[in-house]
Amino acid sequence: MDWVNAVIQGILLGGLYALFAAGLSLIFGVMRLVNIAHGDLIVLAAFLGLTVTTTLGINPLLSIAIVAPFMGLLGYGLQRLVLNRTLGDDILPPLLVTFGLSVIIQNGLLELYSADPQKMSAGAIETASVGLPGGLNIGVLPMLMFATAVVVIGVLQWIFYRSAWGRAFRATSDNQDIAQLMGLNKSHVFGLAMALALVVVAIAGIFLGVRTSFDPSAGPGRLIFGFEAVIIGGLGNLWGTLVGGIILGVCQNIGAQINPGWQLLAGHIAFLVILAIRPRGLFPRIDG
């Protein structure tokens, strides 16, 4: 029964990893930008959630309503003022600039919040659970996170394939010059994509801060999980990213079940094995 439990918990954890990864996947898909600061932006969102929660005295899950729009605006501004200038034929400048951004965010948070680990408390929902036959208990909070991940990815998928924004994202991703000829200002389109990605980052960051403790240096670890989920699932495929997150979560929990020290290692090994067998991931987008 312990093994079944490990798998179920792993699946639910995978939802959180998929949330870490979705924004990363979106940004790479639209503008071929690898955002090294993605994990730090998740942690930034968690700290913002902490500030909002303590200032207003509300449940951290409700602080999403304030942090998400703020992160969206921040994303738009960041893209227009900084990141757009780095995009071009050379892939190195965006990597270097987002790496620098990562350092700045980590040290800024260290200065403002100190290095102490923080945690947000969501109240009774954190310990509430639902009993299943066979003596299994599933936490309400992990289920809520998983359900949110599914909804977020469903909404992103809808935006990407059914809305005017998504049409602009795909057209610009296909051919920036021709999209510009059609009257799409790529700087604005990229700004919108980053805004959307950071709204997802805000949700991921708050959930991270409720689920576990976090500190200013926690970002790069989340970035790795996000990368791994994206690569396992296949670049440019959002549902694949969810599956990638689930595989990562399940492997980590099975590893921990064998030996608690093997949790992270098991996830990384699963990632490397999949990368070796299917270099383009399990469900790569079919394109020319």
Partner 1 sequence: MSDVILEIDGLDSFYGDFQALFGVSMQINKGEIIAVIGANGAGKSTLMRSVTGLLTNKPEMVRFGGTSIGGLRADQIAAMGIAMVPEGRQLFPSLSVEENLIVGGQSGRSGDWSLDGVYELFPVLAERRNQASTSLSGGQQQMVAIGRALMSNPDLLLFDEISLGLAPIIIKSIYEALPGVIGTGMSAIVVEQDITRAMDISDRVYCLQEGRVSLEGKSDAVSRDDISKAYFGV
When asked if residue 174 is in the footprint of partner 1 (CB under 8 A), the reply is: yes
Question: In this chain, which stretch among 49-57, 70-78, 105-113, 173-181 interacts with partner 1, using CB under 8 A?
Answer: 173-181
When asked if residue 89 is in the footprint of partner 1 (CB under 8 A), the reply is: no
Q: Which helix (DSSP H) or strand (DSSP E) does residue 130 occupy? A: strand 129-132
In the complex, the smallest distance separating the C-beta of residue 129 from partner 1, rounded to whole angstroms, is 43
| Residues in 210-249 at the binding interface with partner 1, rule: CB under 8 A | none
Q: Which of 41, 87, 179, 198 binds partner 1 (CB under 8 A)?
A: 179
In Å, what is the CA distance from 264 to each residue of 46, 221, 235, 255? 22, 10, 22, 8
Q: Which of 56, 103, 104, 178 binds partner 1 (CB under 8 A)?
A: 178
Instruction: State whether the Cα torsion 264-28-216-15 is positive or negative.
Output: negative
Contact 25, 253 (CB under 8 A): no
Report phi then psi at 54, rounded to 5: -75, -35
Q: What angle do CA 67, 168, 203 make, to 5 degrees?
A: 20
In the complex, the smallest distance separating the C-beta of residue 72 from partner 1, rounded to whole angstroms, is 22
When asked if residue 157 is in the footprint of partner 1 (CB under 8 A), the reply is: no
Q: Which is nearer to partner 1, 116 or 287 (CB)?
A: 287
Question: In this chain, which stretch among 7-15, 91-99, 116-124, 166-174 interacts with partner 1, using CB under 8 A?
Answer: 166-174
Q: Which is nearer to partner 1, 277 or 286 (CB)?
A: 286
Q: Identity (one letter) of the amino acid at 200?
A: V
**Cα–Cα dist 11/5, whole Å:** 10
Contact 58, 52 (CB under 8 A): yes
In Å, what is the CA distance from 66 to each residue of 45, 52, 58, 218? 11, 8, 11, 22
Helix (H, G, I), strand (E, B) or coil at 90: coil
In the complex, the smallest distance separating the C-beta of residue 236 from partner 1, rounded to whole angstroms, is 10
How many residues bind to partner 1 according to rule CB under 8 A? 19
Q: Which of 167, 235, 263, 268 binds partner 1 (CB under 8 A)?
A: 167
Q: Which of 127, 175, 212, 259 binds partner 1 (CB under 8 A)?
A: 175
When asked if residue 287 is in the footprint of partner 1 (CB under 8 A), the reply is: yes
In the complex, the smallest distance separating the C-beta of residue 90 from partner 1, rounded to whole angstroms, is 14
| Residues in 180-199 at the binding interface with partner 1, rule: CB under 8 A | 180-186
Burial 251-274 (b: 16+ CB within 10 A, else e): bbbbbbbeeeebbeebbbebbeeb
In the complex, the smallest distance separating the C-beta of residue 176 from partner 1, rounded to whole angstroms, is 10
When asked if residue 268 is in the footprint of partner 1 (CB under 8 A), the reply is: no
Report phi then psi at 138, rounded to 5: -115, 125
Question: Which residues are near partner 1 by CB under 8 A?
Answer: 167-168, 170-171, 173-175, 177-186, 287-288
